[in-house]
Structure 1
Amino acid sequence: MSAPDRRIVLVTRKTRLEELIVRFNTIEQARFYVEHLGADFADYESEHRVYGQAVVTTEAALSRLGRVHRLDRTLLANYMFAPDALVVVLGQDGLVANTLKYLKNTQPVMGVNPDAARWDGVLLPFGVDDVEVVAKEVFAGKRSSRRVTMARAALSDGQELHAVNDLFIGPRTHISARYQIQQGELIEHHSSSGIIVSTGLGSTGWFQSLLAGATAIAGHGLPKAVQAMQGHGFAWDAPQLRYTVREPFPSKTTQTNMVFGAITANQPLRLVSQMPGYGVIFSDGIEADFLEFNSGMTATIGVAEREGKLVV
């Protein structure tokens, strides 16, 4: 494929400074707000400057290899990615995960760290200076990729939501979630703070905080299989998910046996909402992008048919 025929999508985000300017209209008002709270506005300016230069440098490098379309993260949900496009994400890690969620094809995603002094970048193996060389190798088929298992929530009304890190199913606010949970022949009624469903990629994040709480209570009484996931999670490409029920409450009408387990292609999790008007499902920590999950609605939580593909 020649350079004019190559399609590249560069996914970027607004910096904290840009978001403050949107909120307060001018940089002077943003400065006043931040400094009035005792924070260092120079840090916001430095981050903005470094990221802006990274965008310019990365776009210039990619433009020598093909046609580049720059895409802001706010447009991801409605953008139609060409199946043969190389997708380059200019960090952070959350932006890589968010991009993978909206790809319906198996095109490779290349994570680039715009500021290695600021961001660790587990999903950002490349620096700005690596972009041109690595992208050339991707187009030449000389770069391998790492598969990422994704989760999928499918509602009985036809709506669906994918997750790269985790799904949350529960209440919109700090009240109890009420639902029926079923896996295979097992069925229970729950009152809890909601359910977290983690992928392998997300198993070193929110999932770990739940394991840490369980460990603090149970000590060494946790099963060895659970202990093995502490601190390390499980493989990104594992053909399974793990679910954890937060703060399950036992009562005359609610049970607490089905509070932790694996979800596979053959053993999905089915939930029936008993929440009149405050149930939600959201993915990857983005609460604004949610599905309503209210009384009578059924959600099937399982391993997604599609998977992510990260350039390494």
Structure 2
Amino acid sequence: MSLAPRAVLVHRTTEYEELLARHGTAGQAAFFLTSRGRDLEPVAARHARARRTLAAVEAAVPLHWRRARVERADLDRFLFGPEDVVVVVGADGLVANTAKYLTGQPVVGVDPEPGRGLGVLVRHRPADTARLLTAAVRPDAAFDELTMVEAVADDTQRIRALNEIYLGAPGHQTARYRLATATRPDPAAPEESQASSGVLVGTGTGATGWLRSLWRERSGPPALPAPTDPRLLWFVREAWPSPTTNTTLVQGALTNGDHLRLVVESDRLVAFGDGVETDALELTWGQTIRVGLADLRLRLLV
């Protein structure tokens, strides 16, 4: 007998809850904000709206389904199952935060505050949850298969991301490394030593954010990919020349089978995805890390 689907509701702590955790009481939080020319009332109103939305989404889960809740900070400790339907209730960034922990489970993005954000990944309204959950487990369900990027170190450390992966020094200081060009495995591929502010490798989903800002600064960069395109772009940030470092290999594209290879020449570099520096790979002198297309994609319900 197969298990009933499980709806996993992913949410994040609200600004109001963070203020209470820091200041202890609503009165203390209000005093803190007032002293800085701000008002607690709109923050509390958004908190109440977010909690009403979460309750409404949970109430829409079919009665015979199992259910679970997970807060963003606990995602790295939560075990997703193959029969899960993941319902992300929050901003677009919360979908990206969740994607790296999934292995093909369908994702439904629900926007608790339509119009406040772009709504690129959280496309649906809370009132549609019941219909969306039923649709998500149908054999003919329609999904956007969003490309992801993956970094794999020589000690088997691995990280995936929906938007981009950053490789560089902690604190965005000078990173030193040897970079091989983004080509299929080839011992004769060009390689150079670099000193820079790090390397960014991004997807079409990330092309609306950090990746796009770098793309706009460049002269003649490759065309930006669409979210479902099997193609990545990479950029070296603020590379500078010296007697031992060069600036020739600073941008390019990666397709199926391509990779970017980086050999660490600093005491410590990190690689993290989608801006989450607290969940980073730690790399030391002499280690090698390869970045390319991930085998898995994010299955986002249309």
TM-score (norm 2): 0.93
> Does structure 2 conserve the Cα–Cα contact (< 8 Å) formed by 1:163 and 1:283?
yes
SS of 1:248's partner is coil
Q: Which amino acid aligns with 1:238?
A: D
Match of residue 161, structure 1, among 151, 154, 159: 159
| 2:4 maps to 1:33 | no
SS of 2:171's partner is coil
Runs of 5+ consecutive residues of structure 1 not aligned to the other structure: 215-221
* Residue 33 to residue 240, structure 1, CA distance change in 2 (3 Å): same
| 2:5 maps to 1:6 | yes
Identify the structure with the greater helix proportion.
Answer: 1
| 2:288 maps to 1:310 | no
Q: How far apart are 1:270 and its partner, in Å?
A: 0.7
Residue of structure 1 equivalent to 2:206: 202
Q: d(CA) in 2 for partners of 1:39 and 1:199?
A: 37
> Does structure 1 conserve the Cα–Cα contact (< 8 Å) formed by 2:164 and 2:201?
yes
After TM superposition, list the pairs within 5 Å mapping 1:133-172 onto structure 2.
Answer: 133-172=131-170
SS of 1:62's partner is coil
Q: Which amino acid aligns with 2:128?
A: D
> Does structure 1 conserve the Cα–Cα contact (< 8 Å) formed by 2:4 and 2:64?
no
Aligned residues: 296
Q: Which amino acid aligns with 2:291?
A: I
Residue of structure 2 equivalent to 1:211: 215
Residue of structure 2 equivalent to 1:86: 85
Q: d(CA) in 1 for partners of 2:7 and 2:301?
A: 14
Q: Which amino acid aligns with 1:205?
A: G
| 2:260 maps to 1:273 | no
Q: Which amino acid aligns with 2:203?
A: T
> Does structure 1 conserve the Cα–Cα contact (< 8 Å) formed by 2:11 and 2:89?
yes
Runs of 5+ consecutive residues of structure 2 not aligned to the other structure: none
* Residue 119 to residue 65, structure 1, CA distance change in 2 (3 Å): farther
* Residue 113 to residue 194, structure 1, CA distance change in 2 (3 Å): same
Q: How far apart are 1:294 and its partner, in Å?
A: 2.2
Deviates more, 1:115-124 or 1:163-172: 115-124
SS of 1:306's partner is coil
Q: Which amino acid aligns with 1:306?
A: L
After TM superposition, list the pairs within 5 Å mapping 1:217-232 onto structure 2.
Answer: 222-223=219-220, 226=222, 229=223
Match of residue 293, structure 1, among 280, 283, 301: 283
Q: d(CA) in 1 for partners of 2:177 and 2:159?
A: 19
* Residue 241 to residue 174, structure 1, CA distance change in 2 (3 Å): closer
SS of 2:136's partner is helix
> Does structure 2 conserve the Cα–Cα contact (< 8 Å) formed by 1:167 and 1:282?
yes
Residue of structure 2 equivalent to 1:126: 124
* Residue 213 to residue 39, structure 1, CA distance change in 2 (3 Å): farther
Q: d(CA) in 2 for partners of 1:17 and 1:141?
A: 40
| 2:233 maps to 1:238 | no
Residue of structure 2 equivalent to 1:49: 48
> Does structure 2 conserve the Cα–Cα contact (< 8 Å) formed by 1:273 and 1:298?
yes
SS of 1:180's partner is strand
> Does structure 2 conserve the Cα–Cα contact (< 8 Å) formed by 1:150 and 1:308?
yes
Instruction: Kindly report the root-mean-square deviation, in angstroms, between the aligned alpha carbons of the 2 structures.
Output: 1.7
Q: Per-residue displacement from partner, 1:5-37 (whole Å, max 9, x unpaired)?
A: 221111111101111212222222222222222
Q: How far apart are 1:266 and its partner, in Å?
A: 2.2
> Does structure 1 conserve the Cα–Cα contact (< 8 Å) formed by 2:225 and 2:231?
no
Q: d(CA) in 1 for partners of 2:250 and 2:115?
A: 40
> Does structure 2 conserve the Cα–Cα contact (< 8 Å) formed by 1:90 and 1:111?
yes
Q: Which amino acid aligns with 2:89?
A: L
Percent identical pairs in the alignment equals 38
Deviates more, 1:124-133 or 1:260-269: 260-269
